[in-house]
Each structure stands twice: as C-alpha cells, then as structure tokens.
Amino acid sequence: MTDLHALSATEAARRIAAGTLSAEKLTRALLDRIELREGTVGAFEHLDPDQALAAARAVDLGDVPGPLRGVPIAVKDLMDTADMPTAYGSPIYRGWRPRADAAVVALARAAGAVVLGKTVTTEFATYHAGKTTNPHDAAHTPGGSSSGSAAAVADTMAPLALGSQTAGSVIRPAAFCGVVGYKPSFGMIPRAGTKPLSESLDAIGVFARSVADAALFAGVLTGRPELLDAATPARVGRAPVALGLCLTPQWTMAAPETAALFESLPEMLARGGLAPTPVEVPAEHRPLLEAQSLVMGFELAQALSWERLTHPAQLSPELRELLAAGAAVTPADYDRAQRQAREARRALPIFFGGLDAVLVPAAPGEAPEGLAYTGDPAFSRIWTLLGVPCLTLPAGRGPRGLPLGVQLVGRIGDDARLLAVAAAVERALAVGGH
C-alpha cells in the first residue's frame, strides 16, 4: 500500500472527492515527510505547517468541487503569494509580502489546491544556487532554477509543484531529480505575478511524478479540458504514435551516459511498442543556442534594471557578470537573434513533418557533483526560444546511480498531443525496462 505522502495527485484527488481521504490527513502526511527530509534536501524557502493545515481544513469544511480539491502543491519562490513571503531568491526582497497571488497560484487555489509553501529558486531564477540538494545524492545539484520544486516532488514532499523556465529551468532539474517536468507552449500558462526576466522566453511549468499528474495540473492552470484528458488511456491508445529522435546541434555536449542512453533508446522503446524515426538537425537550428543567450541576456538586463542599478552590492558576482554581458548586447544583435528565432519557428512544420513529437536530450548527463553549479541548460535553450512545448521523462540512471531524463518536444499549441505521446513513451519505457 502506498504511503500517503507518495500518493499521486490524480489518486489523491480521486480519494478526496470520494470522501475516503481528507485534505488535512494528506497534508499532515506530507508535512511529516518534509520534517523528516527537509534538513537534507532543503527544498523549501518558506514553510508554515499551521497555515497549510488551516488551508486543508478549510477545503475539507467547504464546498470546493475543483479538480485539485485538497491536493497539496509547492510554489516556486519566483511567484507571488499574498499570504507568504516572496523573495525571488534574492536578499534584496527578503521578507517581501506581495499584495496578491500570482495568477497560477490563484488559479490553483480556486481549483481546491492547498499551498504547502514556497520552494527554493536560484537568484532571480538565474545561476547562483540556493541551498537545495539532489534528493538522490545530497552531494549533487538538483539543477536550477526550479531547484526546490523539482527536489520536493522527487522526494515525495509534494505531489505537484510550480516552476518556470527561461533557458532550461524546468526540463533540466526534472531530468536531474528523476521526475516529469512539463513546460507548455509559450504563453499557455499565465505569467502575471511571476517575477519577469525575459518577455520573449519566460514560461510557467509544472513538476509531477507522472505524465497524468502533469496533465491534470496543466489542464487546471490553463483551463483547457483537452490537457486534462490528454494522458488518459483512451487518448493515449487512440492512434499509433509517430515519434522522432533528434540528437540536436548540442550533441557534442552530451556526456557518455547520455550517449549510451540514446543508443539504447530505440531498442527500449521497441520493446514497448514504439519505433522512433531518426530526424536530421535542421540548418535553422544551428545558430539558435547563441541567439537564445543573446535574447535572454538583453531582456534580463532590462527586466532587472532596478536591482542592477540600485542594489548591485546585493547581487551575486555571477549575476552581476551576467547582467553586464546582457547590457552589452546591442539592439542590432538582439534583433538579429530574434529574426533567427522567427525563421526557425517558421520552419518547424518541416522539422516535425508527419511526426507527433521528437525525442531529444534533456541534459548533458547526470546531475553534476557540488551545489554551486546547477548544470548546463544547453539542451533546452533552443526549444525555449522557439516556444514549443517540452516535457522531461525519467529514463533510467547513469553510472553514479543518478537519474537520467529524455526530453520530448512538440508542435506549438499542440500540447494535448505532446502529453498523449509523453504518456505513451512513459508506458513504453516502463515496459522496455529502463
């Protein structure tokens, strides 16, 4: 029998709706898990057990018919919460209390979710790491910037968590921590009330331990019933899956364990009934790594103008260097990078052809040792720039016993199809013995 703290979100929601489990009992189980493991994992920036339990009791006593009724969630500390501090990973905002919830927090609460607390983010969701460790080995990074959210879900401290991505901040930590990380098509989940970093790139994402749970959460946040149903057996088994496999222009950055994983993927998937088709790297994708860096740097320096100009001493050396580089990007270089992104976006129908989704690497390899470096987002940058939906699936372990992940990318706006394909790949990997 599954311990309560390890229940999936879909199962927890089903039991609460059926009256066989209370939101308070489930929240207590998760708080007990957090108390046991938080000293090692350090996933939370703010935690108030009494407040979480009061919210759970209110759900139990009220008439809340929402699809997340009583399901606890964790919220990245880049997103505003009216009843909890929001520091954005920076000492500049220590103790800051916003007036309102971010849109995603408000929508989750309206659907019945219980907010457990705020999870650790790197400084302004960039590269200066917080205290969180990888729950599989505390000597290794959980990835970033959504460090605490990925670690909390992986360590069964929360069934669902909110994250965000500007380069690789959902996909990479999901791979390092061995969970599902889903970044929808650009703009599909509202960003209002989330600290802006890059207008062209920022996207809200979710963490879960299954595709079905990620689909549930994303469906609620977007108000799209087709996402809620995307990972159901009826949808997943409706038609054959046309799956591609592309090594991408960044393949030279892949560690040996990722190379070995992708060499074995076709056979693993074949045992589960899927046959991926090799896809060539498009010429339009080759300049996109640099283009994403230019766009991100230029827009980041603008978005953090107040912090950069008025509180430079409270910024980490890494962030000051990043902002200085971004401020040095010329408008002409920025415009050129945006043109390259538009040209590649127009060519995406050719890239996908008749395929439903394409498998690509999620991260260079296992999570790096040490906590100061959260890993290279190279395998996510171009997909974030293009605005396509992306999803990480756990796909075995590397030589150090740490998780490895694969990334699925889909067509812009066709998130339901991506989630259905992801559920089919998830099932195939389970059958194929990853």
To the query of whether residue 149 is one of the catalytic residues in this protein, the response is: no
DSSP H helical segments within 117-231, as ranges? 147-154, 171-177, 211-222, 225-228
Tokens for 259, please give them. Answer: 């190379």
Q: 407, 391 in Cβ contact below 8 A?
A: yes
CA 345 to chain centre: 22
To the query of whether residue 145 is one of the catalytic residues in this protein, the response is: yes
Catalytic residue among 169, 185, 210, 316: 169
Q: 137, 162 in Cβ contact below 8 A?
A: no
To the query of whether residue 22 is one of the catalytic residues in this protein, the response is: no
Tell me the C-alpha distance between 106 and 104, whole Å. 5
Which DSSP symbol is given to 65?
Answer: -
Which stretches does DSSP call E strand in 318-370? 357-361
Closest CA to 249 of 80, 383, 57: 383
Catalytic residue among 8, 90, 145, 210: 145
CB-based contacts of 32-40 (< 8 A; 24+ apart in sequence):
32/5, 33/5, 33/155, 33/156, 33/157, 34/116, 34/157, 37/135, 37/155, 37/157, 38/157, 40/133, 40/135, 40/138
Which DSSP symbol is given to 22?
Answer: -
Catalytic residue among 8, 76, 146, 316: 76
Q: Catalytic site residues?
A: 76, 145, 169
